[in-house]
Amino acid sequence: MATTSAQTEASRRELLTELAREIEYHEKAYRAGAPEIPDSAFDELFEQYQELAIELEIPEEERLDRRPGSDHAEGFEEVTHAVPMLSLEKLSSARKDSKGESVSLGEQLENWVARRRQDLECGADEALQLIVEPKIDGISVSLHYDSGRLKRAVTRGDGKKGDDITRQVLQSRAAPERLKRLKGEVEIRGELYWPRPAFDSYNEGLRKAGQATIMNPRNGCAGLMKRKEPVGLESVGITSFLYQLVTPGNNKVPETQHAVLEWLAEIGAPVYLDGVTVVNDAAGALAFCEAFGERRPQPEYEIDGMVIKLDELRLYDRLSGTGHHPHWGIAYKFPPERRATTLHGITVQVGKSGKLTPVAELEPVLVAGTTVSRASLHNFVELERKDVRIGDTVWVEKAGEIIPQVVSVDLSKRPAGTVPTARPQQCPSCGAEIMSEEIFLYCPNPACPAQITERLRFFASRQAMDIDGLGAVLVVQIVDKLGISSPEQLFELSAKDLAGLERMGKKSADNVIAGLERAKGRGLARVLTSLAIRHVGTTTAEDLAGHFGTAQALLDFAARYCDGDEAAIESIAPEKGSGAIEGLARKSADVIMTELNSPGVRRVIAGLERAGVRLSQLEGQRREVEGVAGKTFVLTGTLPTLKRSDAGEKIKRAGGKVSGSVSKKTDFVVAGEEAGSKLEKAQKLGVAILDEAGLLSLLGEA
């Protein structure tokens, strides 16, 4: 019996470790602006982790916590929040009491209000008014105004410090550059968001260009606000709602939250006033939340929940808090639409990088307006955690209201005789033995037929080599009937080869051959993008091409990197700070250089060279200028004639690098009017400072 107990505890500890790995993975994806599961699923995952950690008596200091994860991106200056910018405690449908019984949202909210009354020593007859506000699904931002003019915008980050995104906010006009009648230094917090019509329009543009679309408005907003060069952001339509006055400056302000919202509207701040109400108790707050959820507006912006706060602001200072959240407010999340259906099978997809993804084959069901017959199971750790089995009745929802996914199993309807779904040991396409990395499984065989087809589809796509006429259906035929298995072989095709394929006449075949010929001149950056190397997207490919200039120089460097050449490693991915490729982390560099140095990639590049594909940076994109090439520049303030984005492009074309923060490695700071803290830091560090005229002179354009 003792052995069985020990085995049970060992398996539970193993599950706890798996849950921790999955939570950390999804937190990283969320911070990167590319979450794979909705907030509700993440909350359930964390609740399960917490319950298991309590059962196993894991000390609190050894557990994962829920403090906001850092969203810091390399190249952005970090700013410390004068008042911590913490996330709110959440009402959770997954919460259980000490006996393991579910605690309703109403009970949780009643308990929260009771604790606040106790903290504040309120009498039984004393009113404690609550304000309920809609929660816009965007990214939190701290806005600092000086005499009414926006001086700084900062992300929430880890709650203690966030990234300076002032340039991005100003360029996108996401928040007011000026507010009326403000005196002194004022901090206002709010939410940046992307209205649905503007988001849909942007995605349509990506779709027409053959590029991958963005999963949802929140992800897109987060990603665009971390665009290092903000040129073009003014046309995407990101905007904001402001809701919290943190530092009043020299202004006489109201004493309640609902009056502060009205005051913010009066001075010109965008404020959400529809759907805001003041109630006297928890029951009234919950009823309003549920009623609003039934009628919440969908066309213009996403509202994913409500925020319940004490209305009297003077009470906030009397309440304590935790390192994770303040005690003056709590969040209510709307449950996503879920539908039950039968799972008929589980198939395994093999992606272009070899990643194996389990996919649920479902009895068709209508979810959030569309019929769903297939849904993601994300990865095998997730599949095992949920114990999804063929024949089960499963609950399906849409992640971000877009991507269908299986969220849970209705165990009460499980048929007799079902068996757990086993992890594949071999690739379903080629039979190769599977390897694991983090929480994913991979097929390591580059000759895998499924990978070949996916890689060739991507190689021909618009975001890669942009080969006109070579669509997904034709790629399948080329692989199956013509035996093409590698990108360089595409350039050996003739119109005669193609004309014999289904739905391919002479004219269509000639168009594809002409498309292949045009693609030869796309340049090194497009080639690197098209090779589907992990961690090499469009931006990294452009940075690599710009830095190395030719494929041969890059391959030579990759060989030195993989041989352990410390100078090479430190030059591109130092342990601290940023190297030659802005924002490239050591782990990512390890993967990129290993793949570039592999025989398979070298063979493809050699074949492309023989086919006449251009493997150097395109002319006009880079012209190294002595004194600029290899140097790191930081741009700050308003320049007389140039936009900072234009100045940055000039520096990059001349072989220089542009960084968002000043450090000892900075060579030049280009300062305009109202340069601020970056200029001050440069002066303290003794960094050379240029004005616009000095930069143009250095570039040889004066």
Tokens of 215: 């999963």
Tokens of 349: 């997809």
Beta strands 303-310 and 130-136, pairing class: antiparallel
Residue by residue, what is the 3-state secondary structure of 611-624?
A: CCCCCECCCCCCCC
Rounded Cα gap, residues 560 and 564, in angstroms: 7
Rounded Cα gap, residues 235 and 173, in angstroms: 9
Q: Which residues pair with 681 in a beta bridge?
A: none
Tokens 């269509």 map to which residue? 508
- Closest of 66, 112, 647 to residue 330, by C-alpha: 112
Backbone angles phi, psi at 233, to 5 degrees: -70, -20
Backbone angles phi, psi at 646, to 5 degrees: -70, -40
Tokens of 259: 């009056």
In eight-state DSSP terms, residue 108 is: H
Rounded Cα gap, residues 18 and 10, in angstroms: 12
Check: CB of residue 343 under 8 Å from CB of residue 391.
yes
Measure Cα distances from 15 to 20, 49, 372, 498 in Å.
9, 9, 31, 52
Backbone angles phi, psi at 644, to 5 degrees: -60, -35
Catalytic residues: 135
Instruction: Using DSSP, state whether 700 is helix, strand or coil.
Output: coil
Backbone angles phi, psi at 451, to 5 degrees: -65, -40
Check: CB of residue 356 under 8 Å from CB of residue 442.
yes
Which residues are CB-contacts of 317 (< 8 A; sequence separation ≥ 6)?
A: none
Check: CB of residue 382 under 8 Å from CB of residue 22.
yes
Let me know if 125 is exposed, middle or buried by CB neighbors in 10 A (0-12, 13-18, 19+): exposed
Rounded Cα gap, residues 352 and 442, in angstroms: 10
How many beta carbons lie within 10 A of that of residue 426, not counting itself? 11
Rounded Cα gap, residues 655 and 524, in angstroms: 16
